[in-house]
Amino acid sequence: MDVLRPALININGRLYRRNITKEEHYEEEEEGEEEDLSYMGPPEIEDLAEDETCDAIFIEQTEKGYRCAFDVPSVLYKYIIGKKGETRKRLEFDTKTSISIPKPGVEGQIVVTGSHKAAVSSAVTRLEVLVEGFRKKQPFTHFLSFPLNNSQIQEGFLSFKDEVLQQCSKDHGVEGSIFQNPAKLHLTIGTLALLNDTEVKKACEHLQECQNFIREITEGNPLTLDVTGIEYMNDDPAMVDVLYAKVNVKDKSDKLQVIADRLVEHFVSAGLMVREWDRVKLHATVMNTLFRKDSTVEDTDGPRRQTTSEREAFDARNILKKFGAYRFGEVKLNSVLLSQRYSTDCSGYYTSAGSTNFS
């Protein structure tokens, strides 16, 4: 990172400058960076004075001074505490406040108390940015998707798999374990790290809020999608990690793309999702080397999840030549799902935490 142009974090309309000061070790992580985060104020205003508080922070006056309580998922407590409590101690010393944190694993509020309102405001501000920085390092737990696992698409996919294995199994890296589970066929819209039940409930509520604009776009009708053709992610067809099916609205409209982009915009604005691209790349994964089984590892829960460096690419040239225009079928899409990662329901699809319909 360029120390003269540090990264900015936007929390509730406030901008912060992130400055890396030193490395620090945390339990359950190999290595972490302890961050000194300074408040920068709104874009059009210069840095706030030290004694200026922010209206977005609710600080109540008590008989002993001032108090502010706010929710933080329990999985993030360790980052506020730090190694041997050093992070919390430093924050308390720097801001002349006291920071109370619930016991590990217990969901609750972090409470900041102090003699001066500005001191409490300063401590809460630093805690918010610290939490936001480490939140972004958490693996995603849920994702928004358009399900494609109707019977016609599943049958088309299984036929595709059988034909590819019959005709291309001698090509490097092509074998059965790298094919998607037909019950999980979907279009990913975006991923979310929801760290407790409160955040899952909040995400479900936001998904329901999106129903109005979705129905305006679809005019209250399902979208008929045509799943035809395959494409690969990288530049070399001889070294492919992901092969996906192409999906288009049958009436040639851009309604599906508009809905996906609007959903991401809404969830990013709500602070529940991080924007990765200007537009959602709608694709249905049919082959992925992350699914590859390692025969040397005993794993009763399915394929071992490999890191990028462990992935063995496959040669997709013959698959693309023979099946480039393969037609998987049609599906009438009528819902957006908020699904839980690594959890499946009785149908084999990812367990749904929430949904909203097109009609």
Give mean pLDDT, residues 333-342: 95
Residue 194 lies in a domain: yes
The 10s digit of each residue's pLDDT in 80-118 is 999 999 999 999 999 999 999 999 889 999 999 999 999
The CATH number that applies at residue 163 is 3.90.1140.10
Q: Is the pTM of this model over 0.85?
A: no
Per-residue confidence (pLDDT) for residue 275, from 0 to 100: 87
Per-residue confidence (pLDDT) for residue 24, from 0 to 100: 44
Residue 231 lies in a domain: yes
Examine the domain organization and report whether 230 and 100 are in the same domain.
Answer: no
Centre a 10 Å sphere on the Cβ of residue 201 and count the other Cβ atoms it contains: 13
Per-residue confidence (pLDDT) for residue 22, from 0 to 100: 46
The 10s digit of each residue's pLDDT in 205-217 is 999 999 999 999 9
Range with the poorest average pLDDT among 51-60, 126-135, 225-234, 240-249: 51-60
The answer to whether the CB of 120 falls within 8 A of the CB of 114 is yes
User: 86, 108, 135 — which closes off a domain?
Assistant: 135
Q: List the beta strands (DSSP E) in the chain.
A: 8-11, 14-24, 32-41, 60-62, 65-72, 97-100, 108-114, 142-147, 186-192, 223-232, 242-249, 284-288, 327-333, 335-344, 350-357
- Residue predicted with more confidence, 132 or 295: 132
Give mean pLDDT, residues 315-329: 97
Q: How far from 134 is each of 31, 33, 55, 75, 126, CA to CA, in Å?
A: 12, 9, 24, 10, 13
Per-residue confidence (pLDDT) for residue 44, from 0 to 100: 34
User: How many angstroms from the chain centroid is the CA of residue 216?
Assistant: 26
Residue 102 lies in a domain: yes
- Residue predicted with more confidence, 11 or 296: 11
Examine the domain organization and report whether 327 and 248 are in the same domain.
Answer: yes
Split at pLDDT 50, 70, 90, the class of 15 is low
Examine the domain organization and report whether 107 and 245 are in the same domain.
Answer: no
Give mean pLDDT, residues 232-242: 93
Percent of the chain with pLDDT over 70: 79
Domain range spanning residue 65? Answer: 8-135
Residue 7 in this model has a pLDDT that exceeds 80:
no
Per-residue confidence (pLDDT) for residue 297, from 0 to 100: 37
Residue 3 lies in a domain: no
User: 90, 109, 135 — which closes off a domain?
Assistant: 135
Centre a 10 Å sphere on the Cβ of residue 103 and count the other Cβ atoms it contains: 8
Residue 2 lies in a domain: no
Number of structural domains, the chain? 2
The CATH number that applies at residue 39 is 3.30.1370.10
Split at pLDDT 50, 70, 90, the class of 359 is confident
Split at pLDDT 50, 70, 90, the class of 50 is very low
Per-residue confidence (pLDDT) for residue 296, from 0 to 100: 41
Residue 331 in this model has a pLDDT that exceeds 60:
yes
DSSP classification of residue 130: H
Give mean pLDDT, residues 175-191: 96
Examine the domain organization and report whether 125 and 150 are in the same domain.
Answer: no
